[in-house]
Amino acid sequence: MSNGELFASGEIDKLDPEKLLAQMNDAIVLKRWEGTLIEMSSLAEFKLRQVLPDRQDDAASIARAVVLAICETMGGSVVYLPRGNAVRRAQRDAEIFREWREKSQRPDVLGRKFDLASQTIYDIIARQRVLHRQQEPDLFGYEDAPKRLH
């Protein structure tokens, strides 16, 4: 498939994803994908096959569509991807905070559930409160108020 066929509107920045995805099984097209993109697509396909066993036939095309969407959104920029442990820890901390805030779970109960010391749970809740406070709008104008000197 030529570039002219992939770019339906004639604009070089307007790639037709449907046409590109239809050609993804072509060895020539796959060879053009860099190692990281092939690895991302393979990992996504593997995980999709695990979590969606009834959609085995669609896993490869869904994985490629997701990787293409990531490329379209973040392509050309340098992106840092944290290691799995950091991501899992961040998800765990968010879950602890959500259970504490929304379900009124006590820190000692959360400590047992997540196999953490109570003080660690308190520290996680404190850090998460700061993060959530930064994301919420200042409804009462406290950020605009002059700082007190004493």
Q: Whole-number mean pLDDT of the chain? A: 81
User: Could you tell me if 51 and 90 lie in one domain?
Assistant: no
pLDDT for the residue 119: 96
pLDDT of residue 112: 97
Q: Which residues of 81-106 are buried (b: 16+ CB within 10 A; e: fewer)?
A: eeeeeeeeeeeebeebbebbeeeeee
Least confident span in 28-32, 63-67, 119-123, 136-140: 28-32
60 in any annotated domain = yes
Q: Is 143 domain-assigned?
A: no
Look at residue 76 in the predicted model and tell me its pLDDT: 85
Residue 57 counted as domain residue: yes
The pTM score is: 0.55
Task: Write phi, then psi, for 60 (nearest 5 degrees).
Answer: -65, -45
**Mean pLDDT along residues 78-85:** 87
User: Do 121 and 91 sit in the same domain of this protein?
Assistant: yes
User: What range defines the domain where residue 66 resides?
Assistant: 3-74
